[in-house]
Amino acid sequence: MRFLYPDFLWALLLIAVPVIIHLVNLRKHRVVYFSNVSLLKKVRKDTRRKSKLKQLLILSSRILMICGIVLAFAKPYFPTNNTIEQNKQQVSAIYIDNSFSMNAEGSEGRAVESARQKATAIVSGSKTNTRFALFTNNPGQQYNRFYNKNEIMRLIADVEVSHRSLPMSTVQLSMQNIMEDLLLDNTKNLFFISDFQKNTSDIDQFVPDTTHTYNFIPVQVNQVPNLYIDTCWFESPTHHLNQDEKLHVRIINNSNDDYQQVPLNLYLNDSLKTLASVNLKAKSELVSTLEYINTSSGSQKGRVEITDYPIVYDNTIYLNYEVKESINVLLLEQETTPASKNIRAIFANDPYIHFDVNQTSRIQISSLALYETIFLNEPENISSGMADELRKFVENGGTLVVIPAATINTESYNNLMDELSIPTYETADTVNIPIGTLSYQHELFSNVFNSDEEKVELPDINFRYRFTTKAYDQSENLLTFADQSKALSLYKLTNGKVFLFAFPLSHPENNFVNHVLFLPTFYNMALQSSSKQNIYYTVGIDKTFGIALGDTDYSDNYSLKHEENNTELIPSLIQQRGHEIYFAIPDDIEAGNYRFTTGNKNTALVSFNYQLNESDFSYHNQTELSEEIARAGLSKSNIVDVSSNNLSETIRQIDSGRQLWKWFLFFALFFLLCEAAIIRFWPD
């Protein structure tokens, strides 16, 4: 046992006062002689003995009463492991979890309200000179400094639910960073007020600091069923008029209940496009496919919705995509070859693909930007000016297909390869070799062949080129020879892509153009040439979004405008690469479809959605929290599971140990009553 004010113990000298009073009040008895006092002596002896006992009891009561009062004023306590020494300055960092899940109802009302009350109770129960820092899931300069009690109370009152969600270990590092410059004689308390969802409460990843005390304060929430849309994606990466679209939607049932006939709706341009209904068993997920036809070109603004209560923030996913009226394709060659006739035949009568043919010596280099796909078909030489323009073409999102000639100027070809930072051509190889493997799962060949892949006989090649080996080769090998060397490779560079053939098509001993692979390979190269569109961005995961300007001139006067509530914001410009510009995604942006404008011209739609890790309502109970704390090695820690009304007193006990002064005060009152009772009811 220790004392908060040990100097008060000097007051125990007051015990001398009742002792002196007791000694003064002792009476001297005078002897009186009687003729027969045998019976009287016996009575007098009994009375004297009772009187002495009464006086001793009164003296003891007074002494014990004084001891109780003095000890109560000295504030005795039993110290805990986290008790703060009186000569140390106390600093506290308080984290209030304000993620979406804290909008749920609990035994103390809305969880975020309860969290604010608990934070207020922490401040009230802390010592007067304590300094406080507040942390939430939101970024802000107000979370990078310390405040006094009144200032921190105002900040706590302003905390509201946010779509942002951070791993608790990230918050812990931020809290410790703000305290790292404090002196060692400061007592440092970290408070975590949360519902402790398993998705974000990674306490076992904490970096322990023995100078800190970790206090975990659970907020109780009611367990509610939840159904939510996890993600969606298109089966085809490109979109054109009258195309049969298939939109796949993954829905997750996180509850213990089965769902029947839940409506799933797709809205395009604010009109209901298609609908379906889904059945999900408890703790399961499914992928539902929404099928429809693109009937209009241009930007398509969409959203997918389900109906589920009471959790509604995860019932909608916003998306957008571009439907093109046609794709411009260019066959660029030195002269007409037998293979080029086959390529022309593929696109001759296709209404969706606008196909042009030109010679390398006659093409206006500036016109290359008008095309989505360029087939560079077997030129013997590639000029430096052409190589530079083809690099820009790829950087701006174009698709370049390089088919080498049987006789090439290796230096000129490799100049282009170096511009694109891809492997260069080496020597020719005339040994007959078959194509050994085909990447059936790649989008270029998906849905082209039956599932029985063994029946596809791949062509033989008698003339090919070998490539240099690069340390960081990021290629996708779509076709490989039997010796595992590259036959057809895909390189994704900046915004565009390059398909690189290792063999000429027109060589008389190469039979690729006569194989079943030829048509789907070249047609899908053109069909999928459009830059893969981001149908939406996820706030908090994606950091930037890109806008393809096309033929629109960029202006510093740009903004994002919400399509529904017309709120407008100006994102931060990150960089501009060719015809695409990149902006930072604001942390506080609201989910929805936005119209990007530059120079008062609408150029693109952008869609943003929230993270959905808050949709999994699985929480750590007290046992699991203790296990997480043990795994993290947090030696100085507390799990404070009390209501807001009792939290202030609990914090005082954590700060100052278990207080005993009330018990000693009751002790003093008890002996005061004992003294009064002895005097009143004990006869002399």
Q: Mean pLDDT throughout 404-422?
A: 93
Assign 647 a pLDDT band (cuts: 50, 70, 90): confident
Of the three residues 324, 341, 370, the one that is the final residue of a domain is 324
Question: Using one digit for the tens of pLDDT, what is the confidence trace for 441-483?
Answer: 888 887 777 654 556 788 999 999 999 887 677 889 999 999 9
Q: What tokens does 182 get?
A: 């404090």
Contact present, 360 and 375 (Cβ < 8 Å) = no
Of the three residues 307, 324, 341, the one that is the final residue of a domain is 324
pLDDT of residue 33: 60
pTM above 0.75, yes or no: no
Q: Is residue 367 part of a domain?
A: yes
Greater confidence (681 vs 119) lies with: 119
Domain at 581, CATH number: 2.60.40
- Same domain for 458 and 514, yes or no, is yes
CA dihedral 31, 34, 38, 44 (to 10 degrees): -40
Q: Is residue 117 part of a domain?
A: yes
Q: Mean pLDDT throughout 29-33?
A: 57
- Same domain for 134 and 281, yes or no, is no
pLDDT of residue 643: 64
Q: Tell me the CA distances in angstroms from 293 to 274, 287, 442, one per residue in order.
A: 10, 20, 24
- Same domain for 301 and 332, yes or no, is no
Q: What tokens does 320 get?
A: 């957008």
Contact present, 2 and 72 (Cβ < 8 Å) = no
Short-list 179, 161, 163, 162, CA closest to 94: 179
Angle, to 10 degrees, between the axis of helix 38-73 and the axis of helix 16-24?
160
pLDDT above 80 for 393:
yes
Question: Using one digit for the tens of pLDDT, what is the confidence trace for 136-186?
Answer: 998 876 777 899 999 999 999 999 998 888 899 999 998 888 887 665 556
- Same domain for 111 and 202, yes or no, is yes
Contact present, 432 and 511 (Cβ < 8 Å) = no
Mean pLDDT of the chain: 84
Contact present, 627 and 245 (Cβ < 8 Å) = no
- Same domain for 651 and 671, yes or no, is no
pLDDT of residue 16: 81
Question: Using one digit for the tens of pLDDT, what is the confidence trace for 109-148?
Answer: 889 999 999 999 999 888 888 899 999 998 876 777 899 9
The CA-based angle 458-463-469, given to 5 degrees, is 90
Question: Using one digit for the tens of pLDDT, what is the confidence trace for 539-576?
Answer: 988 999 988 776 556 667 788 999 988 889 989 887 87
Q: Mean pLDDT throughout 192-216?
A: 90
Of the three residues 527, 554, 571, the one that is the final residue of a domain is 527
pLDDT above 80 for 662:
no
The CA-based angle 471-477-479, given to 5 degrees, is 140
What b-and-e string marks burial along 476-514, b requiring 16 or more CB atoms within 10 Å of the CB? ebbbbbeeebbbbbbbeebbbbbbbbbbbbbbeebebbe
Q: Is residue 84 part of a domain?
A: no
Q: Mean pLDDT throughout 380-397?
A: 90
Q: Is residue 240 part of a domain?
A: yes
- Same domain for 393 and 258, yes or no, is no
Greater confidence (646 vs 538) lies with: 538
| Euclidean distance between CA atoms 195 and 112, whole angstroms | 9
What are 77's strand-pairing partners? 2, 659
What b-and-e string marks burial along 220-257, b requiring 16 or more CB atoms within 10 Å of the CB? ebeeebbbbbebbeeeeebbbeebebebebebbbbbee
The CA-based angle 464-467-470, given to 5 degrees, is 165
pLDDT of residue 47: 64
Greater confidence (261 vs 674) lies with: 261
- Same domain for 331 and 320, yes or no, is no
Contacts for 597 with CB less than 8 Å, ≥ 6 apart:
558, 559, 561, 603
| Euclidean distance between CA atoms 416 and 498, whole angstroms | 11
Assign 402 a pLDDT band (cuts: 50, 70, 90): very high
Assign 666 a pLDDT band (cuts: 50, 70, 90): confident
pLDDT of residue 84: 47
| Euclidean distance between CA atoms 576 and 391, whole angstroms | 16
Assign 325 a pLDDT band (cuts: 50, 70, 90): confident
pLDDT above 60 for 405:
yes
pLDDT above 70 for 532:
no
Greater confidence (397 vs 252) lies with: 252
Q: Is residue 204 part of a domain?
A: yes
| Euclidean distance between CA atoms 675 and 684, whole angstroms | 15
- Same domain for 386 and 459, yes or no, is yes
Domain range for 365 is 327-527
Q: Is residue 532 part of a domain?
A: no
- Same domain for 67 and 107, yes or no, is no
pLDDT of residue 104: 85
- Same domain for 490 and 543, yes or no, is no
Short-list 362, 349, 376, 348, CA closest to 505: 376
| Euclidean distance between CA atoms 400 and 1, whole angstroms | 81
- Same domain for 652 and 668, yes or no, is no
Of the CA atoms within 13 Å of residue 514, those in its CB half-sphere come to 10
Question: Using one digit for the tens of pLDDT, what is the confidence trace for 270-286?
Answer: 999 999 999 999 889 99
| Number of domains forming the structure of the chain | 5
Q: Is residue 501 part of a domain?
A: yes
Contact present, 271 and 319 (Cβ < 8 Å) = no
Region of poorest pLDDT, from 241-250, 289-298, 444-453, 663-672: 444-453
Q: Mean pLDDT throughout 517-533?
A: 84
Q: Mean pLDDT throughout 43-51?
A: 63
Short-list 18, 44, 20, 19, CA closest to 30: 44
Backbone angles phi, psi at 82, to 5 degrees: -110, 10
- Same domain for 507 and 622, yes or no, is no
pLDDT above 70 for 26:
no
Contact present, 435 and 521 (Cβ < 8 Å) = no
pLDDT of residue 349: 86
Number of other CB atoms surrounding residue 548 within 10 Å: 18
Q: Is residue 195 part of a domain?
A: yes
pLDDT above 80 for 659:
no
What are 609's strand-pairing partners? 538
Contacts for 316 with CB less than 8 Å, ≥ 6 apart:
229, 303, 304, 305, 591
pLDDT above 80 for 488:
yes
Query: How do 244-253 and 186-194 pair as beta strands?
Result: unpaired
Q: Mean pLDDT throughout 81-90?
A: 54
Q: Mean pLDDT throughout 9-33?
A: 70
Q: Put residue 63 in one of left, alpha, beta given phi > 0 → left and psi -120 to 50 → alpha.
A: alpha
Assign 249 a pLDDT band (cuts: 50, 70, 90): very high
Q: Tell me the CA distances in angstroms from 407 to 217, 341, 415, one per residue in order.
A: 75, 19, 16
Biggest distance spanned by C-alpha atoms of the chain: 161
